[in-house]
Amino acid sequence: MDEALLRAVVPGVIGVLRRRGADFAAAEDAVQDALVEAVRTWPDDPPRDPKGWLVAVAWRRFLDAVRADTSRQRREVVVHDEPAPGPGTEVDDTLQLYFLCAHPSLTPASAVALTLRAVGGLTTRQIAQAYLVPEATMAQRISRAKRTVSGVRLDRPGDVGTVLRVLYLVFNEGYSGDVDLAAEAIRLTRRLAAAIDHEEVAGLLALMLLHSARRPARTRPDGSLVPLAEQDRGLWDTRLAAEGVDVLQAALARDRLGEYQAQAAIAALHADARTAAETDWVQIVEWYDELVRLTGSPVARLNRAVAVGEADGPRAGLAALSELDPALPRHAAVAAYLHERDGDLGTAARLYAEAARSAPNLAERDHLTRQAARLNTLLRG
């Protein structure tokens, strides 16, 4: 393929699309799609008119994107930006696209971006705003991802686990820019659940619903974090929580336990407690034991140490924590909490300050800093 020719004609192709009504970002996205198709087909069947071919294919891609975006916006209006209850209603031929966007040859960041663009129908600009990166950077990331998977053949069943990890990454981004990524992840997971009968897809959907149910109580009006034990449970969305429990129970009834079902079971136990004091920590520890058995995850072991501290006392929690690598993210924050529960306020204050310095986001850093300041005030008093 003549790359110099492509570079020469691309600006003209973008110009044609813009004259037909596409904005620059949409035209650039459509041309990128056309270029990926060119890389795939031209070596065996080169067109007589490369620019005309690119214009035709890019224009079709642009129209497809407009239809997808219009459809997505219509769905958002219908559900008032809330995840709709019940099974997904759109069963289409996108199942292979899920597997393609989560192909193991892609990095997690590229897989997430490609999933949002190709499956979710978001524009490059929306995805860039959500991830707080320049639009050009995101366009390059998506373009590279498309080139990576352009020659992939999906003649074998895809890896559901990889797709679920990508969707969970999207969900955990929460809300940023003008895109509610948590709601978008739930919508995409509903579509996947409608397209494939798999207990772990249901487990992930249940987990997302149960976590989303707590969302209204998770932050204060000033944006500061509210710990689970201090949340106003009257603000929790009981409709979402009930749906999450129903989806989880149906998945567990198949008796093929997976990591997302185990995590959803833990979230369901939190949702079931009317007050923090009524939380069934003993059963939560048992579910964390299952999760550790399934995954061996250090993060699951870290969360288990917190649960052990609640079920059997802070010293038991600290004993469980001592078996883990102190370099583990949030290790210092967990240690601080358990030391405070054990009455060692000086150590807890120092660890809260240490945890704040390595916090992954501003809200968490501010919360940990306030915890350290609160304990230091008590120590001086």
**What is the DSSP track for 151-202?**
T----S---HHHHHHHHHHHHHT-EETTEEHHHHHHHHHHHHHHH---HHHH
Q: What is the pLDDT of residue 82?
A: 45
Burial of 280 from C-beta contacts in 10 A (0-12 / 13-18 / 19+)? middle
Q: Are 352 and 333 in contact (CB under 8 A)?
A: yes
Provide φ and ψ at 166, rounded to 5°: -65, -45
pTM: 0.72
Give the residue among 200, 260, 137, 46 at the shortest CA–CA distance from 127. Answer: 137
Burial class for 354, CB neighbours closer than 10 Å (0-12, 13-18, 19+): middle
**What residues does 225 pair with on adjacent strands?**
219
Q: Closest Cα to residue 214, out of 168, 272, 163, 280?
A: 272
Which pLDDT belongs to residue 78?
37
Strand, helix or coil at 48? coil
Q: What are the respective helix, strand and coil percentages of the chain, to the nearest 5?
A: 70, 0, 25
pLDDT in tens, the chain (381 residues): 556 666 677 788 888 877 777 777 778 888 888 887 777 787 777 888 888 888 888 888 877 776 665 555 444 433 334 445 544 444 345 667 788 888 888 888 888 888 888 877 778 888 887 777 888 888 888 888 888 887 776 555 557 888 898 888 888 876 545 568 888 889 889 988 988 899 999 999 999 999 999 999 999 988 889 999 999 999 999 999 999 999 999 999 999 999 999 999 999 999 999 999 999 999 999 999 999 999 999 999 999 999 999 999 999 999 999 999 999 989 999 999 999 999 999 999 999 999 999 998 888 999 999 999 999 999 997
Instruction: Give 282-345 as a DSSP string.
Output: HHHHHHHHHHHHHH--HHHHHHHHHHHHHHH-HHHHHHHHTTS-TTSTTHHHHHHHHHHHTT-H
To the nearest 10 degrees (0 to 180), the angle between helices 314-321 and 331-341 is 150
* CA distances for 292 relative to 175, 253, 306, angstroms: 29, 21, 14
Helix (H, G, I), strand (E, B) or coil at 259: helix
Closest CA to 82 of 239, 250, 251, 203: 239
- Residue 175: phi and psi, rounded to 5, are -125, 130
Given a contact cutoff of 8 angstroms between Cβ atoms, the answer to whether 226 and 220 are in contact is: yes
pLDDT at site 34: 81
In 3D, which of 111, 160, 119, 360 has the Cα closest to residue 260?
A: 160
Residue with tokens 């929306």: 126
106: closest CA among 165, 155, 32? 165
